[in-house]
Amino acid sequence: MSPSSEVPVAEEVRYLALQALDPCAAGVLEILVVGLHDESWRVRHVAAEALKRMPASTELAARLIAVLGERGETGARNAAAEALAGLGGIALAPLVDLLSHPDPDQRKFAADILGQIGHRGAEAPLVQALADRDLNVRVSAAEALGRVGGEQAMGALEALLAEPEPLLRLSALEGLTLLERAVPLRVVTALLEDVPLQRSAYRMLGLIPDAEATQRICQGLGSGLRSVREAALSALGTQALRAEGERRAEFEAVVRESLHASPGLLSRLEEALAAEDVMVRESLHASPGLLSRLEEALAAEDVMVRAGALVVVASLGDASLAIPVAECAREPRLLREVLHTLDTLGPAAGHALLVRMPDLSLPARAAVAEALVHLVDASAVAALCSLLEWMEGDLRAVVVRALGRTGSADAVPPLVELLEEPSLAGAATRSLMGLAESHQMDVVVALQDAVVRKRSPAAVAAMARIGSAWAVPLLKRLSRDTEPEWRAAAVMAACELEGDAGREWVYAALADESAQVRIAGARALARLGGAEAGALLSPALRDEDLSVRVAAVQAVGDCGALDRVPDLVALTRHTDGALAVTAVRALARLGAAEPDVLRAAANHADVEVVKAALAVGAETAAGVAMALALLHHPRWDVRTAAARVLGDSAGPESLPAAREALDAESDALALQALSEAVERLVRR
């Protein structure tokens, strides 16, 4: 084996040996300190990471600070600084002491590391360090204050902006921007004249919600320096994300005016982010350089640069950038800006996006699907239908909404077909209702055909909602159909008819031979209501089919039939848990869940009834009393529910019982709920 191949092997052995060490083992500190001095940066890094995992102590901090003083050991000193930054507050005091060291290198290390730790306790010492006799220490202290923050820090950094030394002004400006502390516009405007400070000054402008600041930012887009152009974009992005309501409209108007009003700016943007001509759209077609640079900016690593690029794209209005705009949705913070920009680009962007939809990332697809509702026109129907062939999940519902926004009669047939998909039937119905405003007969004829052919119950309901007058004869025929499914569909659709046209069929449904139709009758009556609803539901509350009785109980609660409260009280004691739970909840909706009823329900054999009683009485004294009594229930889920009621509603007098239950609890979930309840009760 040659010497050249032995070195990597030896390095890997040292690397793996340090990686395998237990940071908590005795004597490991000095081994890791030796690792900080290794010739390999990989070994030094793994040693620093292991030191961070050691139990934090003043001894550890002191040992690492000693390494900082080893002149000639640059790698070891940097690795020790990395480890110290990971110790957090335990290193604060020795590092503050180090700010007074005679060696300026040591003082600079201390300031740098304190900035990385970011502890507010370092604020005052770092402000004092701004008076250090060494410039590098002063600059490091200013940079550190930008990470530590605090009113004293921000005041000191603002004062540095008047310093003659450029490095101090730069570090102060960067620190204030990091802390999001805006300084007066006149101060920033003066700093823009200093070329080395321009990048930082433009970023600061983004924090100033002022039209003049926006105008100055737009001027920066034409800079010959890429770093300045990107800083201006970042500033636009910052202003955009902070602007709301009227301020947002004003901001966009200023950007548009600035991009249109300055021929000089637009010509400079040829190299940066703009075109050759005053007329923006003409310049876009004449200047592919603008589009390529905007596309680069939309893919920039800096999120705020991307946000600013979105603002510029929206102002210029060129739909050819719709794809990179959509891909900005990969960053969740930019989703609102992406949707706003796509909306501004209009239907032309919609066409481009529809064609490229399969090629987009999932976040971009989701953003585009949401934006399509505002980007489509009559020509988009075929493309939207194609999307439905392969799209999945919630995105399909958004595409269905977009079909309704096309305003085209061509969208009616596919939407009627989509009524057959239960997950999309609601969205398809709403889209058909929208289209019916301009194409009522197209919608009615298509729905009539679907109802006659018995395509789907949803088509029956849609027909009643959209074409009430035309629906009556169809529903009358369906209400006498031989198949219960269609009789039930007719009864539910009857609720959508104007006036009392459908009441007769609803009343008849309550006596239908099919349980499915009787259930539909109960649900329909709940929606129709009326003074006679309680009396009509009375037989259904005693129906031989339990599912009908459950539907009737729900209907009583929904339509407010107080005359049926005694029946519901009796049903809370029914042996069927589902029926009893429904009765408890219906009584709650009616405001008739009396304490004695809830106490009886809390003793039900079905634990779901017990939990329902707890939930209904959760905010009452009776509910708290039930919860206390149920803390030792055999079922963990009941004990958990009881603990949550105590945490939400009980007073400090319940604390002893809660603590006793906590001591006796063995189930993990119940234990957690009881712990949280005790913690909340202690604070009351």
Domain annotation covers residue 460: yes
DSSP tag of 538: T
pLDDT of the residue at 293: 78
d(CA 620, CA 611): 15
Look at the block and give the residue holding tokens 């008849």. 508
Tokens for 95?
């590092």
d(CA 376, CA 387): 13
Is residue 221 within 8 Å of 273, Cβ to Cβ? Answer: yes
Amino acid identity of residue 152, one-letter, is Q
Is residue 376 within 8 Å of 405, Cβ to Cβ? Answer: yes
d(CA 534, CA 556): 7
Low-confidence stretches of the chain (pLDDT < 50) are 1-7, 266, 270-288
CATH assignment at residue 635: 1.25.10
d(CA 482, CA 476): 13
CA angle 523, 583, 619 (to 5 degrees): 120
What lies within 8 Å, CB to CB, of 589 at 6+ separation is 557, 558
pLDDT of the residue at 108: 96
DSSP tag of 480: T
pLDDT of the residue at 5: 41
Look at the block and give the residue holding tokens 């101090």. 168
CB atoms within 10 A of CB 13: 11
Sign (positive or negative) of CA dihedral 76, 79, 85, 89: negative
Tokens for 531?
């003074």
**Torsion angle (degrees, nearest 10) of CA 478, 480, 486, 492:** 80
DSSP tag of 603: T
DSSP tag of 650: -
Domain annotation covers residue 412: yes
351-387 exposure pattern, b = at least 16 Cβ within 10 A, e = fewer: bbbbeebeebeebbbbbbbbbbbebbeeebbebbbeb
Domain annotation covers residue 213: no
pLDDT of the residue at 141: 97
Domain annotation covers residue 461: yes
Sign (positive or negative) of CA dihedral 614, 615, 620, 624: positive
d(CA 503, CA 78): 83
Q: How many domains does the chain have?
A: 2
Written in H, E and C, the secondary structure of 575-640 is CCHHHHHHHHHHHHHHCCCCHHHHHHHCCCCCHHHHHHHHHHCCCCHHHHHHHHHCCCCCCHHHHH
d(CA 660, CA 662): 5
What lies within 8 Å, CB to CB, of 673 at 6+ separation is 639, 640, 643, 644, 647
Looking at every residue in the chain, the average pLDDT score rounds to: 90
pLDDT tens for 213-267 read 999 998 888 887 888 988 999 999 999 989 888 888 899 899 888 877 655 554 5
What lies within 8 Å, CB to CB, of 231 at 6+ separation is 198, 199, 200, 202, 203, 220
Domain final residue pick, 412, 443, 466 = 466
Look at the block and give the residue holding tokens 């370092």. 122
Domain annotation covers residue 96: no
d(CA 188, CA 460): 66
Domain annotation covers residue 477: no
**Torsion angle (degrees, nearest 10) of CA 496, 498, 504, 510:** 20
pLDDT tens for 269-326 read 544 443 333 333 343 343 445 677 788 889 989 999 999 999 989 988 888 899 999 9
pLDDT of the residue at 584: 98
Domain annotation covers residue 403: yes
Is residue 401 within 8 Å of 431, Cβ to Cβ? Answer: yes
Domain that holds residue 444: 379-388+399-466
Tokens for 468?
């009430």
Residue 314, CA distances (Å) to 6, 254, 305 in order: 59, 13, 14
Domain final residue pick, 466, 485, 520 = 466
pLDDT tens for 345-376 read 998 899 889 889 989 999 999 999 889 888 89
CB atoms within 10 A of CB 29: 18
Domain final residue pick, 432, 466, 500 = 466
Domain annotation covers residue 430: yes
Is residue 525 within 8 Å of 506, Cβ to Cβ? Answer: yes
CA angle 28, 34, 40 (to 5 degrees): 125
Residue 553 C-alpha from the chain's centroid: 38
Q: What is the CA radius of gyration of the chain?
A: 36
pLDDT of the residue at 2: 40
CB atoms within 10 A of CB 105: 15
